[in-house]
Structure 1
Amino acid sequence: MSSKDSNINNSESYLIPHNDILEYLTIRVESVYTFRDRYFENHILEDAIHKNDHVNKLLEENLKIFEETETAALQNNKAKYYYLKGRLLNVVPKYSKEAENLLSKAIKLDRKLVEAWNELGECYWKNDELKKSINCFEGALKERKNKISLRNLSMLSRQDTSNSKIDYVANVEKGLNYAKEAVQMDPHDGLSWSVLGNAHLSYFFGVQQNPKTLRQCISAYSQAEKDIVARTTPDLHYNKGITLRYREEFEEALKSFNQASLYDPTWDPPKKREFQLIKYLNDIKELVSTKGKLKTKRLQSLLNSIDSKQLGPYLEDTKNILTGENAKLVPVKIHELKPELNERKVLLGKVVCSVRNEDTVPFTFCLIDETGTCIVVTVFNLADGRGVIIGDSVAIPEPFVTDVDFEYRALRYNFRLIRVERPLLLAVNGKLIQKHQAAGVQMSIFKKCD
């Protein structure tokens, strides 16, 4: 326990006369939330493993104070007392039936108690009663517009999945609008910025995959990190890691997953994501260097079978396939590719292996050209089961190249990567991929306190 753990048991600082017992209890409750939300202002990261225990200890101490003051507080204002005690019990991630009962009582006594509506919504959410949770946050908004209801409705709207694509898109757009409203109400609230980042991410995956949207997402997370409360929430770093993983900024993604684990060592998803990404990168590194582990005879057979006829539509002018302009693409070898976009160029090669990816997105494979040089290719927006197989010829127009080169946990990653976001432009075995082979991408976005 750190030297600053004395902050846990500082009840004496509040034991001063109060004319209003409910004002005193309010101060007590808010002190518990401040301790939880600003824990790392007074504790080092190594203390993170003890955070929940410290919060629970402080919760128990304050519940005793509520018991001691219950009679006087109920005589003053029953609704407010039930709300405050329910809010206190709600400070931990675990669902509390007692908190639900107290908050329900508070609302029955005072329908205009917005804070109680919001707390009850959180309570139902912890118990996976999402419809009831939504009703609570909407009930709060009917009484008063507030950022807490807005950002929670943003998250819940995006979790309300539907079999209908139209309904799903509507839910995602609704969630984005709620998040924007929350930020507008308080531009300095990091939690609202974090939710906005998640909303942009959902929009990118579920509605329109515009690179600008991903930039907005990262920008929102950066704003969130300016706030100490948001910056020390593990889910911010986890979701940022998901975004960076999709952008193939692998080093930063790994750091984000690790940061999420540091803020909550008991939470498994960030550790799992970090492990999976490291394995994915290790597999890429090995398969590129060994050219898919193919035997020499098999590899030579593939090299001999590469034929310019397999360029398919890219043998001719590519009007209406790329930019709508007449453009004869020039065939290039892998070693001739430059970083980023290679305009008016086309790469032809043979698939030597696929790379296992736990997420299934992107579909990843290794490609060799006629010189025997190998490169990794990641293809987004492919429908399940529609990837290429060993021996397929693949022509990639205007390839976008990234040179991956970094070190993480004493391991070095150094390879070239081609990223394909529009699979319909790929020519496989001389023919363009068909529309039914493409699909939208969906990703998991986390709210840690679920």
Structure 2
Amino acid sequence: MSSETRGNAQDLFAEASKAANELYNIRETYFPPNPDDKSSKLLTESTLALQLLDAIPPEKRKSPMQRATYEYLRGKILDVFPEYKKDAEDHLSKAVKLNPSLVDAWLSLGNCIWKKGDLASAKNCYTLALSKGPNKRILCQLSMLERRMAQGTENQADIVEESVEHAKEAISLDVKDGNSWYNLGNACLTSFFVSGAWDQSKLLQSLKAYQHAEKDERMKSNPDLYYNCAIVNKYLENYERALSGFEAAALTDPGLNAMEEVQKMVHLLDKIESLLHGQTKAKRLASLTSSLSTVSLNPAYGRASIDCLQEGLNKAVAIVGKVLFFVKHENVAPFYYLLCDSSQICYVLSVYRIHNEAIKEGDQVTLLEPYYKYVNFSWKGKCYKFKSVRVDFLEQVLVNGKTLSNQHAVQTSIYAQNKP
């Protein structure tokens, strides 16, 4: 084959490859109000991409490498849709047989087989691709697949930690790649859920990764980034950031349930504000809290009122309060209560990893090493202001002077309700 013929063949394959890449760009960035419009656009554009590929004359796709590239591009184009397509798998399988060094074909084949539900074979494809050399995209896919494989297993926390490590490997190859940072954020968030949804450090790691991802202009069209970052802020009780993130996700992709999350959060905040400004009379509060100042404390802890707490973790400090209300809301966790201290100052208590039956209205509660936050922000013209305390462990809570038993601990994770 002459150099001119090879050049023409390369140009034709380059055009087909560009069309295939643009097809995936549409899949990842186009979110019309009507999802059927996206399906229709993908069908139209994939048909055009296949026509462009088939326009390459047979004599210019005779060599094993050219045939492998042709099969790879055809399989990739066919696989752009959410559902599994056997034709796509067949073409991608031919591609890797013709050219086992074609890493992109291994990646696409793994993605295609994943849709079929054969997770072990999909992982094998990614592993074979990585045997050709380090690759950030494949490491990200492997990390994602491991999170999927972890679901429902006895050692899911260990498998998710492998996902975190592979995500970090991808970043080490390109610290400016937003998708790799986004994947690490998802891995850390999943680790938070599967390990019991209590470790704030995992949330902070996730948030930092998402913030790095946001620096990549290409990620600004990713609604899942806004949505997952909002989930992190929700569990960090950064309510304003969470609301803004969910709203941004909804604007980018109306198909997400992001506005439902906004409504649930606003409903919770409105209920808290209503209870805080309710009609509990001063005399009743005085009666309810009169005995709190005499509650005995472990000498290792200094007694404090809610007004004396510092932002963040208050080590070697204990506060005592009376439970006025259990705040019902629509999310799985945490549980919220309205408490009042001996100074008759009301505050919100959020409790993680503890059954709601452990704390009841009217109980006297001692909180050890409380994590304090002063909430003060406005949303859609309404101002929310309240003092908030968070506890994550059974050991931090005494109810009516008694420690909580292990039966009060929530053993299951909340991963099923929050899948990043």
Report the TM-score range of the alignment, normalised by the length of the smaller protein. 0.7 to 0.9
Distance 2:285 2:374 in 1: 28
Per the alignment, do residues 144 and 344 of structure 1 end up closer, same or farther by CA in structure 2, a change over 3 Å counting?
closer
Per the alignment, do residues 353 and 224 of structure 1 end up closer, same or farther by CA in structure 2, a change over 3 Å counting?
same
Q: How does 1:344-423 map to 2 (within 5 A)?
A: 345-382=317-354, 384-423=355-394
Deviation at 1:32, TM superposition (A): 4.4
Deviation at 1:401, TM superposition (A): 2.3
Per the alignment, do residues 281 and 163 of structure 1 end up closer, same or farther by CA in structure 2, a change over 3 Å counting?
same
Per the alignment, do residues 301 and 418 of structure 1 end up closer, same or farther by CA in structure 2, a change over 3 Å counting?
closer
Distance 2:48 2:232 in 1: 40
Distance 1:103 1:46 in 2: 30
Per the alignment, do residues 370 and 212 of structure 1 end up closer, same or farther by CA in structure 2, a change over 3 Å counting?
closer
The aligned counterpart of 1:137 is 126
Q: How does 1:193-212 map to 2 (within 5 A)?
A: 193-207=181-195, 210-212=199-201
Per the alignment, do residues 74 and 31 of structure 1 end up closer, same or farther by CA in structure 2, a change over 3 Å counting?
closer
Q: Residue 63 in 1 paired to residue 50 in 2? A: yes
Q: Residue 227 in 1 paired to residue 220 in 2? A: no
Deviation at 1:109, TM superposition (A): 3.3
Question: How many residues were matched structurally?
Answer: 411
Per the alignment, do residues 343 and 233 of structure 1 end up closer, same or farther by CA in structure 2, a change over 3 Å counting?
same
Task: State the Cα deviation string for residues 64-83 of structure 1 (Å, max 9, x = none).
Answer: 22233363455343322111
Distance 1:410 1:48 in 2: 30
Deviation at 1:188, TM superposition (A): 2.1
Counterpart contact for 1:134–1:156, Cα < 8 Å: yes
The aligned counterpart of 1:437 is 408
The aligned counterpart of 1:245 is 234
The aligned counterpart of 2:299 is 317
Percent identity over paired residues: 29
Structure 2 regions of 5+ residues with no counterpart?
Answer: none
What is the DSSP-based 3-state SS (H/G/I as helix, E as strand, rest coil) of the residue aligned with 2:131?
helix
Task: State the Cα deviation string for residues 401-439 of structure 1 (Å, max 9, x = none).
Answer: 222121223333222211112331111111122344334
Task: State the Cα deviation string for residues 228-251 of structure 1 (Å, max 9, x = none).
Answer: 222321111111111111111111
Q: Partner amino acid for 1:317?
A: P
Question: Quick one: which of 99, 105, 109 aligns to 2:88?
Answer: 99
Distance 1:370 1:402 in 2: 19
Counterpart contact for 1:48–1:264, Cα < 8 Å: no
Q: Residue 75 in 1 paired to residue 62 in 2? A: yes
Counterpart contact for 1:239–1:445, Cα < 8 Å: no
Mean Cα deviation higher: 123-132 or 175-184: 123-132
What is the DSSP-based 3-state SS (H/G/I as helix, E as strand, rest coil) of the residue aligned with 1:69?
coil
Task: State the Cα deviation string for residues 345-399 of structure 1 (Å, max 9, x = none).
Answer: 43222222222343322121111234543211111222x4544111211112343
Task: State the Cα deviation string for residues 13-69 of structure 1 (Å, max 9, x = none).
Answer: xxx99734355234333344247538999x9x9999866655543322222222333
Mean Cα deviation higher: 368-377 or 188-197: 368-377
Counterpart contact for 1:338–1:401, Cα < 8 Å: yes
Q: How does 1:146-185 map to 2 (within 5 A)?
A: 146-161=135-150, 165=154, 167-185=155-173
Distance 1:386 1:310 in 2: 26
Counterpart contact for 2:130–2:138, Cα < 8 Å: yes
Q: Partner amino acid for 2:318?
A: V
Q: Partner amino acid for 2:124?
A: N
Counterpart contact for 1:29–1:87, Cα < 8 Å: no
Q: Residue 300 in 1 paired to residue 271 in 2? A: no
What is the DSSP-based 3-state SS (H/G/I as helix, E as strand, rest coil) of the residue aligned with 1:268?
coil
Task: State the Cα deviation string for residues 273-325 of structure 1 (Å, max 9, x = none).
Answer: 2232222222222222227xx7x79x93994475348845x2x413xxxxxxx
- Provide the TM-score with structure 2 as the length reference: 0.84
Distance 1:269 1:73 in 2: 48
Q: Residue 87 in 1 paired to residue 102 in 2? A: no
Distance 1:151 1:134 in 2: 12
Per the alignment, do residues 130 and 360 of structure 1 end up closer, same or farther by CA in structure 2, a change over 3 Å counting?
same
The aligned counterpart of 1:4 is none
Per the alignment, do residues 114 and 380 of structure 1 end up closer, same or farther by CA in structure 2, a change over 3 Å counting?
same
The aligned counterpart of 1:8 is none
Counterpart contact for 2:292–2:342, Cα < 8 Å: no
Counterpart contact for 2:16–2:73, Cα < 8 Å: no
- Provide the TM-score with structure 1 as the length reference: 0.79
Please tell me the root mean square deviation across aligned C-alpha atoms, in Å. Answer: 3.5
Deviation at 1:227, TM superposition (A): 1.5
Distance 2:264 2:232 in 1: 15
The aligned counterpart of 1:12 is none
Distance 1:251 1:305 in 2: 32
Distance 2:204 2:287 in 1: 40
Mean Cα deviation higher: 115-124 or 102-111: 102-111
What is the DSSP-based 3-state SS (H/G/I as helix, E as strand, rest coil) of the residue aligned with 2:160?
helix
Counterpart contact for 2:366–2:397, Cα < 8 Å: yes
Distance 2:271 2:85 in 1: 44
What is the DSSP-based 3-state SS (H/G/I as helix, E as strand, rest coil) of the residue aligned with 1:187?
coil
Distance 1:177 1:31 in 2: 33
Counterpart contact for 2:23–2:77, Cα < 8 Å: no
Distance 1:153 1:36 in 2: 19
Counterpart contact for 1:303–1:350, Cα < 8 Å: no
